[in-house]
Amino acid sequence: MLSSISKLLSGSLIGVAALVAVAPARALPVSVTYNMQYSFFSPAAGKVVLQGPGTLTVQFSNGTAGGHVSAGALHVVSGTAMLTNNFTVLGGAIVFTGGQSDVFLGSGMGNVTAGGLFNLATVGHIASGFIHCGGAGFCGLAGFVTSVNNMLTSGPRTLNLNNPLNMLAGFPSLGPQTFMALGTGGMTPQGGVFSAMANGQEIGRQVVPEPTTGMLFGLGLVGFGIAASALRARARRA
């Protein structure tokens, strides 16, 4: 009886080992989060009109279980930006105040080279905010009514970081990385295009588990469970 039990148990263990052995090693996605600082330059105003902090989580497709990231595809997982728009034009004749909260819900694609050069494009939305125009009666020139809070509750916030010199300094690495990028940030109220600058410092990273890892572990537990049940059944019959 002991011989048959040993065969049953060893057969289960061999089956589990075979399942693990045939599973090929694959690249694991790694999500890296950065503390960001954004600024948006308006050609019409001739100055930075939106600026402020935020966060951005980018997922690299080619990573390892140890958290190392390397060249390949990447995309935005999530992000936020808290931007103020306090600025003046026409020598102070028009004064804008206000701000907006932008949210990036996980979209857009990009790519990074072995040297850390990258591009990344995503479209978020303006979740909340307002803009107020004041001054010596010139707000109409900019398309705003004087001394009225214009609430911002919707609208896209494009972030297209497409400068060929965009750099993830310290890439590839286990961290930390520095995020430096230029691109465009959507349309201005006057129909122009914002020039966007994004800088960031890595604050953490997380390896995304491979689904098959959990499945193989579960199959292993099933195999051990079958062997244990068989042992108990044989013991009762004895």
The rounded percent of the chain whose pLDDT value lies above 70 is: 78
Amino acid at 90: L
Provide the mean pLDDT of the chain. 83
Which residues does 50 contact at the CB level (< 8 Å), separation at least 6? 38, 39, 40, 83, 84, 85, 100, 185, 194
157-190: pLDDT as tens digits: 999 999 999 999 999 888 899 999 999 998 887 7
Q: What's the whole-number mean pLDDT along residues 46-60? A: 95
Whether the predicted pLDDT of 234 surpasses 70: no
99-135: pLDDT as tens digits: 999 999 887 899 999 999 999 999 999 999 999 999 8
Q: Is the dihedral of CA 113, 39, 157, 184 positive or negative?
A: negative
